[in-house]
């Protein structure tokens, strides 16, 4: 069986608030497995300057009015709505050549990435519209002139030009961080598989969750769109290095210094450690991983293993094990039971891969598979873009230039022998920059040498061993929290990487000025900014609390008895608190000192308001530092200032961050930290 046959439809672009067909029917897009027409694609007649302007003018202000938490909530709602419709996407995905397992990576992997960004936005970003980064820089001795780095959303749009291999994930992994940043998106999917992206965008628009203009879609050529980008726009590109270089040097992008992120060809390597000889768990894991990376998505993954680097003594065993596994990979219709690998995306793509295999054959011999013979377990081997896996071997890897230059974007990989670990690292580097490398080893020295040697050439490095066999996410899986991108040939770009990915669509600005004005800009209390005294701030609900509400406590003396009691009560009888001679011999102390945790505990005793009230819980402290030793007889006093207020969107409480400074009788700061609390929005709670 395969995806049901249906009348091909004309794809439409979603631009300027309407689904819009091109003026012509355009070329047909064919089912990868059957060759049946699926859709027609054309974008002629669209006004590309208007599309950019629509995003900037209509959606930009609405997105920027929302806080990070609002936008994160929007992404969560969208992710859940898409997940509920996933089966429809799977059916369409079969037409691209993707099996159910391939579709899972694309569809649920993409939606999962969006949900991860939603969750990170809520947990790791404040509920504000401006992001602060790093510490305050003090620029004058009296503290009256300070600086703070802030990040604000670009006022343009992000144009995301995607490759054919991940029509869903490729879009969602890019729009999630962009929308979280507060920037509208224009997505241009690769034509070959655009019908799946179009379907997903239709469902997104139907939910009504995104403000109008936040997501536009262009099916077909982008025409003169790039002529109209400005310095407030961003362009991301995933695809071939040739097109990427052309777009990167587009006059408007160069003239306006438009941000350009590129993810292109990558000759990813996987290294079998010198310890991982045949018979070890690492050898078996390596074989499994290489075979999986070669066959999943029919090898059409930017992260797939293209170069297999192994000790020369293991080559024979490896070839046999891989030949066996690859030979048993059932190639057939993506939706058919028993199919392990589907076809390539198109007949053109298969032709392209066959030509690249011929390039590789100039320096390597085929040791498994035949690119010109198709063996399928289901479907019509002549009509679909089927290609059985091909394994090559280059006996002289340092002379095998083509292996380090040519990306055969299919189920193709080349085995390269090494005679020393240093050689293995050198071979990995010959890819001139890749998205990912992996090493399979259980030896700490091997792991260290390979990772440190290869890291500067890679955006991600995975270490595989027996302990992570079940838990590892695998060589080929980019993850929302981790950098996806690589230096050099891989394009030099960075995507995702958690909240870093959000910052790619924001401008970092150093703001200098007086504390109270900087505080007004960032919405965070800063040392030296205004404070208010009055009712104890722990008696105030979120509705009543304001930044700068401050409490100065009474003082409390620390005695020998306090320290002795605390030491025996907690069991912390560290010599610096208990042994006078040993404490005096310590370079940091003049005498026995109070425990830092005793200081923090006394501070809490000084600043809390004990009665039931709006403060619901203390959930931790940040950046705790003990700065000055506390000796017996010293007197402690606390200054507690409301620093940041983050109401939660879907709860009746929020987080409040308090600046807590503990000083001694001389005014020296003995401890400094942020106290983190949950505070009710209303108190008493509404009936």
Residue 504 near residue 234, CB atoms below 8 Å = yes
**What minimum distance in Å lies between the beta carbon of 678 and ligand NDP?**
43
The residue among 213 and 299 lying less far from ligand NDP, judged by its C-beta, is 299
Beta strands in 386-476 (DSSP E): 390-393, 412-418, 434-440, 458-464
DSSP 22-79: -SS---EEE-TTT--EEEE---TT--HHHHHHHIIIIIHHHHHHS-HHHHHHHHHHHH
In the complex with ligand NDP, the residue whose CB is nearer, 306 or 524, is 306
Which residue intervals of 221-296 are DSSP H helices? 241-248, 251-255, 281-295
Shortest Cβ distance from residue 340 to ligand NDP (Å)? 22
**Contact 615/93 with Cβ under 8 angstroms?**
no
CA–CA distance from 445 to each of 358, 450, 451, 453, 566 (Å)? 38, 9, 10, 12, 44
Smallest distance, ligand NDP to C-beta of residue 439, A:
21
Binder of ligand NDP out of 266, 378, 388, 641 (CB under 6 A):
266
107 or 551: whose CB is closer to ligand NDP?
Answer: 107
**Rounded to an integer, what distance in angstroms lies between the CA atom of residue 222 and that of residue 622?**
48
463 binds ligand NDP (CB under 6 A): no
Contact positions with ligand NDP (CB under 6 A) in 323-362: 352
Q: Does 185 bind ligand NDP (CB under 6 A)?
A: no
Q: Which member of 42, 102, 263, 549 binds ligand NDP (CB under 6 A)?
A: 263
For position 165 contacting ligand NDP by CB under 6 A, the verdict is yes
Residue in 91, 240, 377, 477 binding ligand NDP, rule: CB under 6 A? 240
Position 252 contacts ligand NDP (CB under 6 A): no
Which residue do the tokens 């003990």 mark?
626
Burial class (CB in 10 A: 0-12, 13-18, 19+), 459: buried
Number of shown-chain residues binding ligand NDP (CB under 6 A): 23
Q: Which of 107, 302, 526, 593 binds ligand NDP (CB under 6 A)?
A: 302
Q: Say whether residue 407 binds ligand NDP (CB under 6 A).
A: yes
- Binder of ligand NDP out of 72, 179, 190, 321 (CB under 6 A): 190
Nearer to ligand NDP, 165 or 465 (CB): 165
Q: Is 186 in the site for ligand NDP (CB under 6 A)?
A: no
475 binds ligand NDP, rule: CB under 6 A: no
Is residue 264 close enough to count as binding ligand NDP by CB under 6 A? yes
Q: Is 236 in the site for ligand NDP (CB under 6 A)?
A: no
Place of tokens 């059957």: 34
> Judged by CB under 6 A, which stretch of 137-145, 157-165, 596-604, 659-667 contacts ligand NDP?
157-165
58 part of the interface to ligand NDP, by CB under 6 A: no
Q: Looking at 117, 409, 418, 673, which residue binds ligand NDP (CB under 6 A)?
A: 409
Residue with the shortest CB distance to ligand NDP: 239
Does 258 sit near ligand NDP (CB under 6 A)?
A: no
- In terms of CB distance, is 170 or 464 closer to ligand NDP? 170
Contact at 8 Å (CB) between 412 and 357? Answer: yes
Interface pick for ligand NDP out of 120, 122, 188, 643 (rule CB under 6 A): 188
Please give the C-alpha separations between residue 595 and each of 564, 573, 607, 629, 632, in angstroms, as whole numbers: 10, 9, 19, 9, 11
Q: Is 197 in the site for ligand NDP (CB under 6 A)?
A: no
Q: Can you name the residues that pair with 263 across neighbouring β-strands?
A: 238
Judged by CB under 6 A, which of 162, 261, 274, 663 binds ligand NDP?
A: 162
Residue from 63, 161, 214, 357 binding ligand NDP (CB under 6 A): 161
Rank residues 53 and 352 by Cβ distance to ligand NDP and give the closer one. 352
* Candidate list 14, 164, 386, 602; residue touching ligand NDP; CB under 6 A: 164
265 binds ligand NDP (CB under 6 A): yes
Residue 37's contacts (CB-CB under 8 Å, 6 or more residues apart) are 8, 28, 29, 30, 31
How many Cβ atoms from other residues are within 10 Å of residue 628's Cβ? 16
User: Cβ of residue 225: shortest distance to ligand NDP, in angstroms?
Assistant: 8
Nearer to ligand NDP, 353 or 447 (CB): 353
Smallest distance, ligand NDP to C-beta of residue 4, A: 25
Q: Where are the alpha helices (DSSP H) in 553-636?
A: 560-570, 575-578, 580-585, 596-607
Q: What angle do CA 507, 512, 513 make, to 5 degrees?
A: 140
Reading the block at residue 312, the tokens are 């020369």
Query: Cα(307)–Cα(269) distance, rounded to whole angstroms?
Result: 5
**378 vs 367: CA distance, rounded Å:** 25
222 binds ligand NDP (CB under 6 A): yes
> Hey, CA dihedral for 627, 630, 634, 638, is it positive or negative?
positive
| Other beta carbons within 10 Å of 527 | 14
- Residue 216 touches ligand NDP, criterion: CB under 6 A: no
Residue 162 or 677: which CB sits closer to ligand NDP?
Answer: 162
Residues serving a catalytic function are 263, 302
Residue 388 in the binding site for ligand NDP (CB under 6 A): no
Tell me the C-alpha distance between 482 and 189, whole Å. 23
Positions that interact with ligand NDP (CB under 6 A)? 161-165, 188, 190-192, 222, 238-240, 243, 247, 263-266, 302, 352, 407, 409
């Amino acid at each position: 069986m395969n995806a049901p046959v249906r009348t091909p439809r004309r794809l439409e672009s979603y631009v300027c608030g309407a689904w819009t067909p091109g003026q012509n029917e355009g070329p047909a897009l064919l089912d990868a497995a059957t060759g049946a027409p699926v859709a027609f694609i054309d974008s002629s007649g669209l006004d590309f300057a208007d599309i950019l302007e629509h995003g900037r003018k209509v959606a930009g202000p609405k997105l920027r009015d929302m806080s990070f938490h609002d936008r994160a909530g929007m992404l969560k709602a969208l992710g859940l709505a898409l997940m509920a419709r996933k089966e429809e996407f799977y059916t369409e995905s079969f037409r691209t050549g993707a099996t159910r397992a391939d579709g899972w990576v694309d569809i649920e992997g993409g939606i999962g990435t969006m949900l991860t960004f939603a969750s990170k936005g809520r947990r790791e970003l404040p509920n504000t519209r401006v992001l602060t980064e790093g510490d305050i820089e003090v620029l004058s001795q009296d503290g009256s002139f300070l600086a703070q780095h802030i990040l604000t959303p670009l006022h343009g749009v992000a144009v995301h030009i995607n490759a054919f291999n991940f029509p869903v994930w490729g879009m969602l992994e890019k729009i999630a961080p962009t929308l979280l940043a507060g920037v509208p998106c224009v997505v241009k999917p690769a034509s070959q598989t655009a019908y799946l992206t179009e379907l997903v965008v239709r469902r997104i628009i139907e939910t009504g969750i995104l403000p109008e203009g936040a997501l536009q879609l262009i099916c077909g050529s982008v025409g003169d769109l790039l002529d109209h980008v400005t310095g407030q726009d961003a362009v991301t590109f995933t695809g071939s290095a040739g097109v990427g270089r052309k777009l990167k040097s587009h006059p408007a992008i160069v003239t306006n210094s438009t941000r350009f992120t590129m993810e292109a060809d990558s000759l990813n390597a996987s290294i079998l450690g010198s310890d991982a000889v045949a018979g070890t768990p690492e050898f078996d894991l390596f074989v499994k991983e290489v075979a999986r990376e070669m066959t999943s998505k029919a090898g059409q993954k930017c992260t797939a293993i293209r170069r297999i680097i192994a000790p020369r003594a293991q080559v024979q065993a490896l070839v046999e094990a891989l030949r066996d596994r690859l030979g048993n990979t059932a190639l057939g219709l993506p939706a058919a039971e028993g199919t392990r690998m589907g076809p390539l995306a198109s007949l053109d793509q298969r032709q392209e891969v066959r030509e690249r295999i011929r390039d590789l054959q100039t320096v390597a011999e085929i040791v498994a598979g035949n690119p010109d013979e198709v063996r399928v377990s289901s479907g019509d081997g002549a009509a679909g873009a089927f290609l059985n896996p091909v394994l090559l071997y280059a006996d002289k890897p340092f002379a095998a230039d083509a292996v380090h230059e040519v990306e055969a974007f299919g189920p193709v990989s080349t085995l390269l022998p090494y005679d020393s670990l240093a050689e293995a690292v050198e071979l990995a580097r010959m890819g001139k920059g890749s998205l990912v490398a992996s090493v399979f080893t259980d030896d700490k020295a091997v792991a260290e040498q390979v990772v440190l040697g290869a890291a500067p050439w890679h955006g991600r490095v995975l270490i595989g061993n027996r302990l992570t066999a079940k838990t590892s996410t695998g060589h080929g899986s980019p993850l929302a929290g981790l950098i996806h991108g690589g230096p050099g040939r891989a394009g030099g770009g960075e995507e995702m990487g958690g909240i870093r990915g959000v910052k790619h669509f924001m401008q970092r600005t150093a703001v200098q000025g007086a504390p109270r004005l900087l505080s007004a800009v960032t919405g965070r209390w800063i040392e030296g900014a205004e404070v208010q005294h009055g009712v104890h701030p722990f008696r105030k609900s979120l509705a009543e609390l304001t930044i700068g509400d401050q409490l100065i406590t009474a003082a409390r003396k620390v005695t020998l008895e306090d320290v002795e009691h605390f030491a025996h009560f907690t069991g912390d009888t560290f010599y610096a608190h208990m042994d006078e001679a040993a404490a005096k011999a310590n370079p940091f102390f003049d005498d026995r000192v109070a425990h830092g945790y005793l200081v923090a505990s006394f501070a809490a005793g000084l600043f809390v308001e004990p009665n039931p009230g709006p403060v619901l819980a203390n959930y931790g402290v940040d950046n705790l530092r003990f700065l000055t030793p506390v000796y017996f007889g010293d007197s402690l006093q606390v200054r507690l200032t409301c620093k940041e207020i983050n109401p939660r969107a879907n709860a009746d409480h929020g987080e409040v961050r308090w600046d807590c400074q503990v000083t001694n009788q001389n005014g020296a700061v003995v401890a400094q930290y942020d106290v983190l609390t949950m505070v009710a929005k209303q108190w008493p709670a509404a009936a």
